[in-house]
Amino acid sequence: MDRRSFLKNSALGGTAAAATTLAAPAYAQGNRTLTMVTSVPDGFAVFDDAAVNFAENVNAMSGGELTIEKKAAGQLVGAFEVFDAVSSGQADMYHSADYYFGGQHPGLYFFTAVPFGATGGEMASWYYHGGGKELHHEVGEIFGLKSFICGNTGHQPGGWFNKEINTAADLQGLKFRMPGLGGLALGRTGASVQNVPGGEIYQALASGAIDGAEWIGPFADERLGFQEICEFYYTGGMHEPGSALTCGVNLDVFNELSPAHQAIIETAAAATHQWSLSQSNYNNGAALERLKAQGVKVLEFSDEIWDAFGTAAAEALDEFMDDELFARIRASQEAAVAATYAWTSVSDGVYTAQRGRVRAG
Ligand code: CA
């Protein structure tokens, strides 16, 4: 039965037609350009790649109805001003790392990474199946934002140093760039921790303003040329085991979008999370080999250093436990990581170790 004959033959036809007429004009119609401010310069590997991928996804999925106009760090607002700019309505959305905004709310740390927290895969488990997305929306809405994770760097190395770090004493007084809760933890080991935007790290290292820095990983770090300044690169960092990036949309702007366009934003962000995580995991191994070929000495932290990190990270996390939402987000993420690891440790963990042993790679 086609729609016309259904309405003609239905006693409810008149009511259904009236309801359809009333519902139609609730959302803004037509094409829309959304301004998206970011925290890095154009062309920065991984970070800006994810922002570009997201914008392309949104434009393609909406058939050109939604266009994202990306503004690099400093173009409209500074790298660390994007959160406030979108919260206040100065821009429609931001693409950044939410741990830069832990000062606005400490719960935001968990939506990038916390020390000894979730890997990239564990972040996805928590976010899409363990309540993470709902908590991200809850903390975002305090600031008038609708937030979605939108990129993931995968595991991040300990970073670049101009000397070997063999004992906890070697961290004393070290001027080191590390943001987020990882940086707060490192500060508790005696290092002098500074937060420097990604676009300014090279200059800070070259000028001697800092002794060392972490950024993202071999693929992204190589592009910035840190190997020209620092001799030592430590893999296996404690601070960012799988850092998510975030697209935060002004809540009024988001609510004006049609349900279809809202679904496109959410689905495009999820697609970018997966695309970005696999970009880093695919490219980092080859990039690390290139760095070694350029003379970089690749090392791992000792157990003594890891133990110092563990104590400092627990203290840094406990510092915020008076905040009810922080405590709830922490409990939720830690439960999801434990639940995920209960399976991956006896499945992927056993398999990849045995594959490496049997096939030597
Ligand atoms: Ca980092």
Q: Is the pLDDT of residue 80 over 70?
A: yes
The CA 213 to ligand 1 mean position distance, Å, reads: 9
- pLDDT of residue 12 exceeding 60, the answer is no
Average confidence (pLDDT) over 194-206: 94
Which stretches of 65-206 are assigned E, i.e. beta strand?
A: 66-71, 93-96, 145-152, 159-161, 175-177, 192-194
Distance 3 CA to ligand 1 centre (A): 56
Domain boundaries, the chain: 31-153+240-316+329-361
Query: Separation of 178 CA from ligand 1 center, angstroms?
Result: 7
Cα(92) to centroid of ligand 1, in Å? Answer: 25
The owner of tokens 């037609």 is 17
pLDDT classification of 15: cutoffs 50, 70, 90 = very low
Contacts of 85 (CB under 8 A, 6+ apart): 37, 76, 77, 91, 94
> How far away, in angstroms, is 214 Cα from ligand 1 center?
5
Q: Give the per-residue pLDDT at 361.
A: 59
Distance from residue 112's CA to the centre of ligand 1 (Å): 10
Spatial CA neighbour of 316 closest among 96, 110, 161: 110
Average pLDDT, the chain: 93
Query: Could you give phi then psi for residue 234, rounded to 5 degrees?
Result: -95, 125
Between the CA of 298 and the centroid of ligand 1 the distance, in Å, is: 17
Alpha-helix residue ranges (DSSP H) falling in 73-215: 82-87, 120-129, 132-141, 180-187, 201-207
| In the predicted structure, residue 19 carries a pLDDT above the cut 90 | no
Cα dihedral 171→177→180→185 (10° resolution): 10
Mean pLDDT score, 88-93: 98
User: How far, in Å, is the centroid of ligand 1 from the Cα of 29?
Assistant: 40
For helices 120-129 and 324-344, give the axis angle rounded to 10 degrees: 120
Residue 23 has pLDDT above 80, yes or no: no
Per DSSP, the three-state class of 330 is helix
CA of 99 to the centre of ligand 1 (A): 10
CB of 296 closer than 8 Å to CB of 225: no
Residue 86 Cα distances to 107, 124, 146, 258, angstroms: 18, 25, 10, 20
| pLDDT tens-digit series, residues 230-269 | 999 999 999 999 999 999 999 999 999 999 999 999 999 9
Cα angle vertex 222, ends 124, 348, to 5°?
35
- Check if the beta carbon of residue 41 is closer than 8 Å to that of residue 220: no
Instruction: State the distance from the centre of ligand 1 to the C-alpha of 18, rounded, in angstroms.
Output: 55
Distance from residue 229's CA to the centre of ligand 1 (Å): 18
CATH architecture entry for 31-153+240-316+329-361 = 3-Layer(aba) Sandwich (3.40)
**CA–CA separation, 334 and 324 (whole Å):** 15
Confidence of residue 14 (pLDDT cuts 50, 70, 90): very low
Of the CA atoms within 13 Å of residue 29, those in its CB half-sphere come to: 3
Strands 145-152 and 244-250: antiparallel
Q: Give 136-194 pLDDT, tens digit per residue.
A: 999 999 999 999 999 999 999 999 999 999 999 999 999 999 999 999 999 999 999 99
The model's pLDDT over 302-349, given as tens digits with 9 standing for 90+, comes to 999 999 999 999 999 999 999 999 999 999 999 999 999 999 999 999
Q: How far is the CA of 179 from the centre of ligand 1 (A)?
A: 7
Mean of pLDDT values over 207-223: 96
* pLDDT tens-place string over residues 105-137: 999 999 999 999 999 999 999 999 999 999 999
Where residue 27 falls among pLDDT bands split at 50, 70, 90? low
Question: Residue 219 and residue 313: Cα distance in Å, rounded?
Answer: 27
Distance 182 CA to ligand 1 centre (A): 9
